[in-house]
Structure 1
Amino acid sequence: MKTTQPDASSTSLDATYALDPGLSLDHFSNTIFKSLRRNDQRRWAYAYLRGLLGTSGKKSVRRLATAISRDPSVVQSLRQFVSLSRWGFDEVMEELTHWVTGHRPDPVWSIGRAVLPKRGDRSVGVHRYFDLSSGRTLNCQLALGSFLRVGNAQLPVDWCLYLSTHWTQEPGRRRDARIPDSEQYRPLWAHTLRLVDRLSARTDSASAVVHADMSDEPQVANLLHGLAGRHRDFVVAIPPQLAVLPAAGAAPVPVSARTLVAALPAEQAAVPLPGGKRRIALFRSSFVRLPGRSAGTPYRLFTEVGPARARGPLWLTSLAHRGLAEVGSIAAPRSGTTDAIGSMEQDFGLRDFEGRSFPGWHHHMALVSAAYTYRYLHGFTAVPSRSTA
């Protein structure tokens, strides 16, 4: 027997939403999702945001629907809106970027990494990935996100989903997951450049500094060369084994970054903190060049010396003319995107998407990003009302 899925427009939300939508959230939702062509799509975007903001625990579609309506057909309508309805991820994230930049973010673009564990192998992008932070190999989706910092909050304004060749080179998998023809295999460094290019197109911040942790990316030199070619300054955590050339000396010999800094004396710097405070930190630092890039201004290689001389991340920055205190303050918020992603996982349903398609995954990420941004910029705390009918 042939069955049809109900269109989102055929199901009505509770009267509470129609009569008292919450003007501030309503304005935010209508602005961020104004590119959605149909009125019913914009209504369901608003409803989904209310569900994400007001539902405790797991943010499954069923639990979100239960939080906003007693009508059982709302579950199917929300699921269709996220997974099947046609609307543009890029347009929504561009509008979200404009909203965040209107709140004067810091001139630093942070690239964060989200590891989303999954069961089975049917969800788009799932593959076996060694997570350096946990020291485990996980069955997961891997995403990179762009973040802008406003106050103490890192706010997500774009996402890329890593697709292994297992997904990009198998026509059946591509078809089932509805992966567009334009999506091909890209290593993580190429995804990072892609995010930088999109942020560059959406903002007028030519002087923003790219901040990223690529300490496990063996091809990080491609990222560094790509950023230099775009005239984009950066502070990037690099693998310890990356070959560098000391800037001093007539004919320097390549040496690993870790070996070079380990032989350097520590120097003290007063690193700025929020609120006008400072902390005293010890750094090891040297001016270096990359093999194949012998001309031009050298980079600064540096690392902070931790307690008991513990080894910290190694950073390479194009801001060689800036002091250690300044570049150290840019490197310091490395945990900011990690904390933001952790909050989105725990409180906003980042891991809870149940669909399997490429468009559906991006729709979910756009909605979670919008909800997270609204909460931190506008302090939404109300729980959606439920119909008693």
Structure 2
Amino acid sequence: MPSTDQLSAFVDAVFVHLQRADQRRRGHAYLHGLLTVPGKKTVRSVAAAATDSPTASQSLQQFVNSSPWHWEAVRHELACWAETRLRPQAWTVATTVLPKRGDHSVGVHRRFVPQLGRTVNCQVGIGLFLSDRVSAVPVDWRLHLPEDWSLPCLRGQARVPSNVRPLPIWADALDMVDRLKRSGDLAPAPLVADIRGTRRTSELLRLLMRHGHDFVLAVPGDLTVVPVSEAGRELQASNASSLGAPHGLVRLPSTTGGRSRETYRLVTERRRPAVVWITNMVRQRTDELLSLVECHAATGEAARELALDFGLQDFEGRSYPGWHRYMTLMSAAYAYRRLADVP
């Protein structure tokens, strides 16, 4: 059971931009419910954990779906609060599949999920986490919108803002990383992510370099690279990474016929099946790079906890603003549980 005073102080910190006292009270009630209700986190069960008022459920439903508070400001305060306690070594990305019934939820589509071995009706959320090797806390989210969600009828029903367009998952992830870096309030950290499912891997690598991000990324083994010591000889990343130093230094094939200037390094984890990671931090020791890879494992564990204990898959509303506000509340509850007792 969370301490009332401690939780109130946390709510005051992360909801500082909410001007109305009733909004902060509802934020406190929703977090309390997410932290205490076992099993499925419905609005009704969350409300019942906070009060026996017969109108509480309706009030919390309104707080998530239609109350005019901006989730971006809350997430920013959450990131700042979490950084002081977590001291993150990396910013990590996790993609989560949220199964849905019917076709009315915002962003819902049919998708083949390799981990399940079948096609499911779902939403896809992309989360950005602050991570050390032990803990990872979500501080921003994007909802993947497939191309079908360009249709005005779907967007109007789900209240999708006009400036939000369908993008590849990797583009949504890059936007979150850019936004966190531009805020200037957090110390930059390397991006660690698994992009083996990305079709345009080389393009993403070049964009990350252009935007000034350090990174360690798991890449497809068939990514074409050119070893620095063997200019002109193209290899697949899975083969190039096994050559050892100095062959671990590679470039990407040029898109203009000239010589690509950016140098990367390939590192392979010693496990089966082997995973190839590419980084632009070519001077870092191998053990330091593999330590960053462990931050990604911590993110996977956090995503599982969010699904099991914090209601990641339980949002029942259909609107785009409602989805983002719910994910913000869930992230805040998770951060509080993991970090509230950290000085």
The answer to whether residue 202 in structure 2 is matched with residue 237 in structure 1 is no
Q: Is the 8 A contact 1:192 1:223 kept in 2?
A: no
Number of residues of Structure 1 aligned to a counterpart in Structure 2 = 338
Is contact 1:218-1:239 (8 Å) kept?
Answer: no
In structure 2, the residue corresponding to 1:111 is in which secondary structure?
strand
Report the AA paired with residue 253 of structure 1.
R
Instruction: Say if 2:157 is the partner of 1:176.
Output: yes
The higher radius of gyration belongs to 1
Preserved CA contact (<8 Å) 1:117 1:141 = yes
**Aligned residues with identical type, % of pairs:** 40
Provide the C-alpha distance between the structure 2 equivalents of 1:105 and 1:371, rounded to a whole number of angstroms.
19
Partners of 1:58 and 1:349 within 8 A in 2: yes
1:98–1:202: 8 Å Cα contact kept in structure 2?
Answer: no
Quickly say closer, same or farther: Cα 1:62–1:206, change in 2 above 3 A: closer
Tell me the distance in 1 between the aligned counterparts of 2:12 and 2:241.
Answer: 52
Which residue is equivalent to 2:195? Answer: 214
Partners of 1:29 and 1:146 in 2: CA distance: 21
Q: Which residue of 2 aligns with 1:341?
A: 303
Residue identity in the other structure for 1:100: A
Structure 2 counterpart of 1:8? none
Report the CA distance between 1:21 and its aligned residue.
8.0
1:70 matched to 2:52? The reply is yes
Which residue in the other structure is 2:95 paired with? 113
- C-alpha separation in 1, matches of 2:216 and 2:132: 19
- 1:1-389 aligned within 5 A: 22-150=4-132, 152-167=134-149, 169-204=150-185, 207-250=188-231, 252-261=232-241, 264=243, 286-292=248-254, 294-306=259-271, 310-378=272-340
Question: What letter matches 2:269 in structure 1?
Answer: E
TM-score by length of 2: 0.93
Q: Which runs of 5+ in 1 are unaligned?
A: 1-19, 268-283, 381-389
Contact 2:253 2:260 (8 Å CA) reproduced: no
Contact conserved, 2:104 with 2:318, CA < 8 A, in 1?
yes
Distance across 1 between alignment mates of 2:219 and 2:26: 43
Structure 1 CA distance, aligned partners of 2:124 and 2:135? 22
Secondary structure (helix, strand or coil) at the match of 2:241 reads: helix
Maintained 8 Å contact 1:103/1:150: no
> Structure 2 counterpart of 1:54, which letter?
T
Query: One-letter code of the match for 2:66?
Result: L
When the two structures are superposed, what TM-score results if normalisation uses the length of structure 1? 0.82
Relative distance call for 1:335 and 1:42 in structure 2 (3 A) is same
Match of 1:305, SS state, is coil
SS in 1 for 2:311: coil
Q: Is the 8 A contact 1:52 1:64 kept in 2?
A: yes
Which amino acid in structure 2 is aligned with residue 249 of structure 1? Answer: E
